[in-house]
Amino acid sequence: MGHYREMLGRYVFTQRRLLIWLAVLLLVSIALQLVNPQVIRYFIDTAQGEGSLNALYYAAAIFIGFSLIQQVISVCAAYYSENLGWTTTNRLRADLVEHCLSLDMTFHKSNTSGTLIERVDGDVNALANFFSSFMIHLLGNILLMLGILLLLFRENIWIGAAMSLFVVGAVFAIQWIRKFTVPVWTKWRAQNAELYGFIGEHLEGTEDTRANGAAGYVMNRFYDLSRRMLPVRIRAFMGFGMMWSTTIFVFALGNAAAFLVCAWLWKRGELTIGSVYLVFYYTELLAKPIEKIRTQLEDLQKADASLIRVRDLLSTKPQITDGPGAPLPAGPLSVQFNGLTFSYEADGEPTLRHLDLSLKPGQTLGLLGRTGSGKSTLARLLLRFYDPQEGSIELSGVDIRDCKLHELRSGVAMVTQNIEIMEGTVRDNLSLFDEEINDAEILSVLKELGLEEWFASLPDGLDTVLASGGGSLSAGEAQLLAFARVFLSDPGLVILDEASSRLDPLTENRIEAAISRLLEERTCIMIAHRLSTVQRADQILILENGQIVENGPRAELARDPQSRFSRMLAVGLEEVLA
């Protein structure tokens, strides 16, 4: 129960006003539900006697009036409870999102955006009822049930006793029958998952199936599944029928018992006919709270699994945390690696080994090496997506582990070959929702990157909505927008990770000038797989299996015929590295 209390305390109990309103409405509604049968009793008993009919009409009017008030109340209660549910779960969703965004890449590598949707939205939706009306409805229905029993006791102790016995029996019987039905539904759901898994696989594998003439195999597997599913489906439905049947049977027994006790008391003259009807009415009314309490408890069970998952997610600690907040100087940054060793898995083969490097402010480093040599890893370490196991990285003399993460990342920018366009306007994509960046700045950057023509073709200018993943953009345009982002955030160190690899030679020439502008007054690390890209580098570093095999000023290396770099220039990058 501890974790329920914690979550409720954090999200629900803080919404005191909504809660109080909801509770008041519910109490009134319970009172009305309890009072109305009394009105009928009064009506029946009065109808048996003599005298003016007016009293009967008043009773009927009161009954109708109460019913209408109750209707209004139930609508209001639904409104408040829905509002409460969404307000609280939205807060939880936002907390989850914020938390997940603070987690590092180790987490995001193992959790796709699909599973995160399921956990941020799916699991939280399952908690909606628990967060909104669960407590109030559960308490309300228990109150209603107790109220009915109390009023029955007030009629006659024997009636109260018989009906209390009935309620206990009913709850027990309904719980007991659930034992048989729930497992079948679980099995049915598992079979369904299997069926859709099977269909999904084959929808993806149509090429293999079709061209190898295996349609018969697929259909036979489908028939096999269908043969296995039918009996389970029938049993699941029968189980559902059994639940319903149990309710019907239990209430028939309850009514029969009420009839017997009432008839006995009636004969002894202890009950009026109106009171007999009252007992009958309350017995029927008891079905509702019993059913509601059952479904609420069931919801709680369902919510439980989600609640545990949500708590697990919230308690996942990021491996990379903020440093004490050493400030980075403005302007170009120097870069210093001291004996850097890093591996992705704790006891795995190191991806980078004892790396030492120093880069002066404003210089450009060309980083070469074949795939898997550790180039991109180096970039990730500079942005603290991971921390090295040994050694350190210093930017202008500051160990990056001493910086606040967001300060580090506003000082260091990276452009990769991935297209990272979000659904949203061009402005949002360029400024990443930073409202301090004004349109004039954005426009001047676009101009600088030669995107004027592209911009002019946009129907709504900066408000044009881009599709997720940049569907409407060419790969080159998407890449240029990524450059634009860097211009706007004005960092002191820029990392270009094969950034121009998607550009055709023509576009690449076009942005040469833009890159030159970008590198003015900035330090830069260029990760490249083409030699032309590193022509502007001041320093060259060649990595192989996580180790430096060559490092020095570009011009010097190019002159030295023994260097790998000059061999590369002569015969091509790939032949040397292979």
Partner 1 sequence: MNTRHFFWRLLLYRPVFYFSNLFAWMVIHMAPLLPGLITKAFFDHLEGTYDFPYGIWGIAALLVGAALARIALIAGGFWTDANFRFRISTLLRRNMLAHVLKEPGAKAIPCSPGEAISNFRDDVDHTEEAMSWSVDMFGLIGFVIVSSYILISIDAQMTFFVFVPLILVVTAAQIATTRVQKYRAASRAATAKVTSSISEMFSNVQAIQVAGAETRIVRRFERLSDERRQSMVKDKLITEALSSVFTNSVNLGTGLILVLAGYKMRSGSFTVGDLSLFIYYLTFVTQLISNVGNFMTYYKQMAISFGRLKDMLQGASARILTAPAFIGLGKRRAAAAETAGAGGVREQGDGGRSASGEAAVGDAMRTTAKARREEDRLGADVAGTVQADPLQVLEVRGLTYRYPETGRGIQGIDLRLERGSFTVITGMIGSGKTTLLRALLGLLPAEGGEIAWNGRRVETPADFFVPPQSAYTAQIPRLYSDKLRNNILLGLPGTDGSLEQALHAAVMEDDVAQLQHGLDTMVGPRGVKLSGGQVQRTAAARMLVRDAQLYVFDDLSSALDVETERKLWERLFRDRGEATCLVVSHRKAALSHADHIIVLKDGTIEAEGTAEQLLAVSPSFRQLWHGEESHAGAK
What part of residues 55-94 is at the interface with partner 1 (CB under 8 A)? 56-57, 59-61, 63-64, 66-68, 70-71, 74-75, 78-79, 82-83, 86-87, 90, 93-94
What is the C-alpha separation between 238 and 257, in angstroms, rounded?
A: 28
Q: Does 467 bind partner 1 (CB under 8 A)?
A: no
* Helix residue ranges, H only, 465-534: 475-489, 505-519
CA atoms 547, 552, 555, 556: torsion sign: negative
Residues 287-346 within binding reach of partner 1 (CB under 8 A): none
Q: Figure out which of the listed residues 24, 28, 40, 558 binds partner 1, where binding follows CB under 8 A.
A: 40
- The closest alpha carbon to 165, from 268, 253, 37, belongs to 253
Judged by CB under 8 A, does residue 556 bind partner 1? no
Cα separation, 270 vs 265, in Å, equals 5
Residues 6+ apart with CB under 8 A from 457: none
In this complex, which beta carbon is closest to partner 1, that of residue 69 or of residue 513?
A: 69
Q: Is 182 in the site for partner 1 (CB under 8 A)?
A: no
Instruction: Write the single-letter amino acid at 509.
Output: N
Closer residue to partner 1, CB minimum distance, 77 or 449: 77
* 171 sits near partner 1 (criterion: CB under 8 A): no
**Looking at 15, 336, 417, 489, which residue binds partner 1 (CB under 8 A)?**
489
Only one of the segments 135-143, 273-281, 389-397, 454-462 lies at the binding site for partner 1 (rule: CB under 8 A); that segment is 273-281
Q: Does 198 bind partner 1 (CB under 8 A)?
A: yes
In angstroms, give the least distance from the CB of 548 to partner 1: 19
Minimum distance from CB of 566 to partner 1 (Å)? Answer: 19
Specify the 3-state DSSP secondary structure of 437: coil
Contacts with partner 1: how many residues (CB under 8 A)? Answer: 143
Q: Which of residues 108-137 bind partner 1 (CB under 8 A)?
A: 108, 111-114, 116-117, 120-121
DSSP notation for 15-67: -HHHHHHHHHHHHHHHHHHHHHHHHHHHHHHHHHS-S-SHHHHHHHHHHHHHH
> Is 513 among the residues that bind partner 1 (CB under 8 A)?
no
Cα(173)–Cα(562) distance, rounded to whole angstroms?
A: 89
Residue with smaller CB distance to partner 1, 112 or 358: 112
Q: Residue 523: beta bridge partners?
A: 493
Can residue 35 be called a binding residue for partner 1 (CB under 8 A)?
Answer: no
Q: What minimum distance in Å lies between the beta carbon of 422 and partner 1? A: 4
Collapsing DSSP to helix, strand or coil, 539 comes out as strand
Piece in contact with partner 1 (CB under 8 A), picked from 148-156, 268-276, 306-314, 440-448: 268-276
Exactly one of 207, 345, 453, 520 binds partner 1 (CB under 8 A); that residue is: 207
Minimum distance from residue 359 beta carbon to partner 1 (Å): 20
Contact window for partner 1 (CB under 8 A) among 179-187, 446-454, 537-545, 566-574 = 566-574
The C-alpha atoms of residue 18 and residue 30 are separated, in whole angstroms, by 18
Residue 359 β-bridge partners = 335
Judge whether 21 and 83 are in contact, CB under 8 Å: no
In degrees rounded to 5, what are phi and psi of residue 528? -140, 155
Task: Map the footprint of partner 1 across residues 413-452, applying CB under 8 A.
Answer: 413-414, 416, 418, 420-424, 432-435
Which is closer to partner 1, CB of 61 or CB of 150?
61
**Chain residues 210-249 in contact with partner 1, contact rule CB under 8 A:** 210-227, 229-231, 233-234, 236-238, 240-241, 244-245, 248-249
Q: Which amino acid is at 6?
A: E
410 binding partner 1? (CB under 8 A) = yes
Under the criterion CB under 8 A, does residue 276 sit at the interface with partner 1? yes
State both tokens at 247: 């309710």
Taking the complex as a whole, the smallest distance from the CB of residue 271 to partner 1 amounts, in Å, to: 9
Rounded Cα–Cα distance for residues 252 and 247 (Å): 8
DSSP H or E stretch at residue 302: helix 273-315
Give the residue with the Cβ less far from partner 1, 181 or 539: 181
- How far apart CA 337 and CA 326 sit, in angstroms, is 18
Burial pattern 28-59, b for ≥16 Cβ within 10 A else e, equals ebbebbbebbbbbbbbbbbeeeeeeeeeeeeb
Query: Binding to partner 1 by residue 25, rule CB under 8 A?
Result: no
- Nearer to partner 1 by Cβ, of 43 and 166: the residue is 43
User: Which of 6, 204, 349, 556 touches partner 1 by CB under 8 A?
Assistant: 204
Indicate whether 523 belongs to the interface with partner 1 (CB under 8 A).
no
Q: CA-to-CA distance for 149 and 282, rounded, in angstroms? A: 9
Chosen residue from 468, 505, 520, 562 binding partner 1 by CB under 8 A: 468
Per rule CB under 8 A, is residue 474 in the interface with partner 1? Answer: no
198 membership: H or E segment, kind and range = helix 157-204
Residue with smaller CB distance to partner 1, 179 or 227: 227
> Closest distance between partner 1 and the C-beta of residue 248, in Å?
5
